[in-house]
């Protein structure tokens, strides 16, 4: 078996662990996307998805597994080309994707939110008209930006980057005025960078108890994606997801990354 958290010999494959016999389940993921999948200073792959994968594939299903780094744009095509068995990449469940993959039951709620620089003069959603926003290519953040662009009759410039860090860097360097991205990922970036703040305002999630206290453009749920001929395995994974909720493992991992 591949040691948990260790490096495997195969290029591009990281982490993994689990049982001793049978095939190795490969998990396609775009890295870094902290706090879901990223490396610590020692270079180990860590994150919420990484620990949920260990609990589900390693502990519950007793499988060998490893993460395989891949670009997010095209990740579904890559799954369907059998480059890996599943996608676990903070991926939002939506209808257009569900035409090409099957999703597990939801395992995390997220919201599209807007980051700006504290000293900018953008203080409301309407202030984004005529501005530029950075997004990660192929994401629901990009789709939310396109919806906003339509709402502004085209008066929004969208800059798409292969990885979210490209959009974050562009914000810090004043190459874009805002970044539209998943709330917890943007929150961890804002926490590490002075002067980066969420755009405030009443959003689509404003009346939800658990909504973040700033502008929300969408409400989304993450799922693990499978090829459409992989129903038995998808069922086993759903059972395992339920089991880690029932035995407290999910809550333990959740509070490690999100409560405090």
205 binds ligand ARG (CB under 6 A): no
For tokens 């961890």, the residue is 188
According to DSSP, the β-strands at 196-198 and 108-117 are antiparallel
CA separation for the pair 122, 178 (Å, rounded):
9
How many amino acids of this chain bind ligand ARG (CB under 6 A)? 16
3-state secondary structure of 125: helix
Nearer to ligand ARG, 156 or 180 (CB): 180
For tokens 């999948």, the residue is 37
210: tokens are 């658990």
Burial class (CB in 10 A: 0-12, 13-18, 19+), 141: buried
CA separation for the pair 134, 131 (Å, rounded):
10
64 binds ligand ARG (CB under 6 A): no
CB of residue 248 vs ligand ARG: minimum separation in angstroms? 26
Nearer to ligand ARG, 139 or 177 (CB): 139
Q: Which of 24, 26, 60, 139 binds ligand ARG (CB under 6 A)?
A: 139
- Using the rule CB under 6 A, give the single segment among 12-20, 133-141, 226-234, 249-257 that binds ligand ARG: 133-141
Nearer to ligand ARG, 29 or 249 (CB): 29
Q: Which of 14, 15, 30, 161 binds ligand ARG (CB under 6 A)?
A: 30
CB of residue 106 vs ligand ARG: minimum separation in angstroms? 12
260: tokens are 């405090």
Measured N-to-C along each axis, helices 231-246 and 249-258 cross at an angle, to the nearest 10 degrees, of: 80
Binding site for ligand ARG (CB under 6 A): 29-30, 33, 36-37, 72, 89-92, 110, 136, 139-140, 164, 182
């Amino acid at each position: 078996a591949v040691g948990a958290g260790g490096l495997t010999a195969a290029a591009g494959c990281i982490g993994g662990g689990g049982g001793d016999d049978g095939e190795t389940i490969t998990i396609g993921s775009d890295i870094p996307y902290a706090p879901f999948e990223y490396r610590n200073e020692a270079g180990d792959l860590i994150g919420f998805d990484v620990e949920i994968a260990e609990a589900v594939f390693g502990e519950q299903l007793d499988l060998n597994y490893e993460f395989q780094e891949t670009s997010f744009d095209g990740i579904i095509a890559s799954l369907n080309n059998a480059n890996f068995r599943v996608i676990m990449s903070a991926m939002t469940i939506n209808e257009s994707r569900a035409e090409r993959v099957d999703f597990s039951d939801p395992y995390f709620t997220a919201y599209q939110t807007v980051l700006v620089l504290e000293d900018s003069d953008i203080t409301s959603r309407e202030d984004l008209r005529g501005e530029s926003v950075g997004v990660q290519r192929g994401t629901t953040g990009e789709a939310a930006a396109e919806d906003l662009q339509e709402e502004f009759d085209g008066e929004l410039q969208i800059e798409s980057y292969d990885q979210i860090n490209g959009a974050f860097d562009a914000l810090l360097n004043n190459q874009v005025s805002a970044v539209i991205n998943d709330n917890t990922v943007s929150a961890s970036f804002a926490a590490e960078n002075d002067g980066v703040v969420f755009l405030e305002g009443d959003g689509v999630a404003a009346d939800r108890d658990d909504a973040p206290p700033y502008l929300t453009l969408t409400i989304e749920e993450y799922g693990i994606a499978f090829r459409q001929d992989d129903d038995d395995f998808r069922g086993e994974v759903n059972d395992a997801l339920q089991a880690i909720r029932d035995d407290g493992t999910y809550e333990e991992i959740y509070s490690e990354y999100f409560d405090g």
